[in-house]
Amino acid sequence: MTAQVNSNSAVLAHFTLKLADGTTAESTHSNGKPALFRLGDGSLSAALEQQLLGLRVGEKCTFTLQPEAAFGSENPDLIQFFSRRDFTETGVPDVGTIMLFTAMDGSEMPGMVREVAEDSITVDFNHPLAGRTVTFDIEVLEIDPRQEVKHADIIG
């Protein structure tokens, strides 16, 4: 086990993500299962990794990241419009439903139904926290844990 978080550490931590209005967007405390973050693998923003560097086991920190440094800004190109006919197999979804869509390359990507109109359905493929300022409360439980833990998938 390493003494402090460095640029290629695996970090087992509990975290809570809060929005600017104070509401909790996600928390590992709710299910009692900490998350594993692997620095340097491209899954975390550079700003988030920077906040984790130097932390030690048992330390807690709180910091706020602007949208560009957290989950990115909302991209209007990721809002797509579909015909109701595109949903004949699944049925017309409700607003707020998250569905998996198959991309041209065969990969799957989640999209949230934003609007259901008379002849079209609007689906947003942005990360649910894109465009939002978020505050992280993080507690480091282990650094470079020996057992394999499923990689954290923060909201999405």
Give the pLDDT of residue 146. Answer: 63
CATH of the domain at 115: 2.40.10.330
Whether residue 47 contacts residue 70, with contact meaning beta carbons closer than 8 Å, is answered with yes
Q: In the numeric block, which tokens belong to residue 75? A: 């991209």
Task: Indicate if 85 and 44 belong to the same structural domain.
Answer: no
Domain ranges, residue 36: 10-72+129-143
Establish if 88 belongs to a structural domain.
yes
Going from the C-alpha of 100 to that of each of 75, 103, 124, the distances in angstroms are 19, 10, 11
Task: Indicate if 93 and 41 belong to the same structural domain.
Answer: no
Task: Indicate if 84 and 99 belong to the same structural domain.
Answer: yes
Q: How far apart are CA 80 and CA 86, in angstroms?
A: 12
The mean per-residue pLDDT over the stretch 1-19 comes to: 90
How much is the pTM? Answer: 0.74
Count of domains forming the chain: 2
Task: Indicate if 68 and 135 belong to the same structural domain.
Answer: yes
CATH of the domain at 24: 3.10.50.40
Establish if 25 belongs to a structural domain.
yes
Establish if 153 belongs to a structural domain.
no
Q: In the numeric block, which tokens belong to residue 17? A: 């993500």
**Residue 22 in this model has a pLDDT that exceeds 50:** yes
The mean per-residue pLDDT over the stretch 112-129 comes to: 94
pLDDT digits (tens, 9 = 90+) for 143-153: 987 644 444 55
The mean per-residue pLDDT over the stretch 29-36 comes to: 92
Establish if 137 belongs to a structural domain.
yes
Q: Choose between 107 and 145: higher pLDDT.
A: 107
| Band of residue 2 on the pLDDT scale cut at 50, 70, 90 | low
Torsion, Cα 103 116 26 129, to 10 degrees, reads 60
Task: Indicate if 68 and 103 belong to the same structural domain.
Answer: no
Task: Indicate if 15 and 65 belong to the same structural domain.
Answer: yes
pLDDT digits (tens, 9 = 90+) for 57-79: 999 999 999 999 999 999 999 99
Q: How far apart are CA 9 and CA 142, in angstroms?
A: 10
**Residue 155 in this model has a pLDDT that exceeds 70:** no
Task: Indicate if 36 and 82 belong to the same structural domain.
Answer: no
**Residue 13 in this model has a pLDDT that exceeds 90:** yes
